[in-house]
A and B are shown apart, each in its own frame.
Chain A
């Protein structure tokens, strides 16, 4: 029977998983930028609140702030629909960039590259019974991340 373990298959490297799921509120309106290569990029902030009970039994909450980046058609979607204060579902992967800051210190910035963004706020007009999906997913095609 053929081996099913990656380490037994020569030149086969274990595939990785780098997945982030966030559900929180937008902290900054999205910013759409067009890069010199013609690509669109959209960035926005998202906060998630962690709620827990401390040893005394008291409720505690602490916000965590995330930087989200979207590319291509997803960027266009986000620039149009992602608004400060709105609740949002973001699915993507972690990407950390680093560069030399002033005085030679290294600066790190970790971002979540979005692959799927879903607007989770209830629609303003409750009378409108027409439901349509308001979300966008990154198209997986050659040349796109």
Chain B
């Protein structure tokens, strides 16, 4: 059976993108992102809780985020979940679940001429 692993997020950037390079020399960026979940409790009062995500972008998508994505920007994101394990600062393995982005749309841009969205090269 063909499997599906899809994430759709609409929210705001919490940290400016950090651009780095993979071992092979390809650009990769990580972007802090937040979504707010709101619901009504038993008393009917509106409750809101933020959820923090880590977005990871590769290739031209990474370059795009470095140029166009800033802290506070509203974004629409599509991607897939990936849990990666790496060396923690204090030794031992740390695991983090990240969203590998394959489509990103800037929501704050009002200019129609400017590029507002980017997709992954894959």
- A contact set with B: CB distance below 8 Å: 13-25, 47-52, 64-66, 87, 93-96, 103-108, 110, 120, 142-143, 145
Chain A CB within 8 A of B53 CB: yes
- Residues of the B chain whose Cβ atoms lie less than 8 Å from the Cβ of A48: 3-5
- Contact of B3 (CB < 8 Å), options: A15, A18, A23, A104: A23
- Contact of A23 (CB < 8 Å), options: B4, B12, B34, B83: B4
- Residues of the A chain whose Cβ atoms lie less than 8 Å from the Cβ of B94: 105-108
With A64-B83, A94-B51, A108-B96 given, is the CB distance from A18 to B37 under 8 Å? Answer: yes
Q: How large is the interface on B (under 10, 10 to 19, 20 to 34, 35 or more residues)?
A: 35 or more
Chain A CB within 8 A of B9 CB: yes
B36 touches A16 (CB 8 A): yes
Q: Which residue of B lies closest to A121 (CB)?
A: B1
- B contact set with A: CB distance below 8 Å: 1-12, 34-42, 44, 51-53, 74, 76, 80-83, 88-90, 92, 94-97, 122
- Residues of the A chain whose Cβ atoms lie less than 8 Å from the Cβ of B2: 23, 51
| Given A21-B8, A108-B96, 10 extra CB contacts under 8 A | A16-B37, A18-B9, A19-B9, A25-B3, A51-B3, A64-B83, A105-B88, A105-B90, A107-B94, A142-B44
- Contact of B4 (CB < 8 Å), options: A13, A24, A107, A108: A24
With A18-B37, A64-B82, A142-B41 given, is the CB distance from A94 to B7 under 8 Å? Answer: yes
- Residues of the A chain whose Cβ atoms lie less than 8 Å from the Cβ of B35: 16-18
- Residues of the A chain whose Cβ atoms lie less than 8 Å from the Cβ of B39: 145
A110 touches B3 (CB 8 A): no
Q: How far is the CB of A95 from chain B (nearest CB, A)?
A: 6
- Residues of the A chain whose Cβ atoms lie less than 8 Å from the Cβ of B34: 16
A50 touches B80 (CB 8 A): yes
Q: How far is the CB of B85 from chain A (nearest CB, A)?
A: 11
- Residues of the A chain whose Cβ atoms lie less than 8 Å from the Cβ of B37: 16, 18, 93
A17 touches B9 (CB 8 A): yes
- Residues of the B chain whose Cβ atoms lie less than 8 Å from the Cβ of A18: 9-11, 35, 37, 51, 53
- Contact of A21 (CB < 8 Å), options: B6, B10, B41, B76: B6
- Residues of the B chain whose Cβ atoms lie less than 8 Å from the Cβ of A105: 88-90, 92, 94
A20 touches B1 (CB 8 A): no
What are 19 A-B residue pairs whose CB atoms fall within 8 Å in the complex?
A13-B36, A14-B12, A16-B10, A17-B10, A19-B7, A23-B4, A24-B3, A52-B122, A64-B83, A66-B5, A87-B1, A93-B51, A94-B81, A95-B51, A103-B92, A106-B94, A108-B97, A120-B1, A142-B42
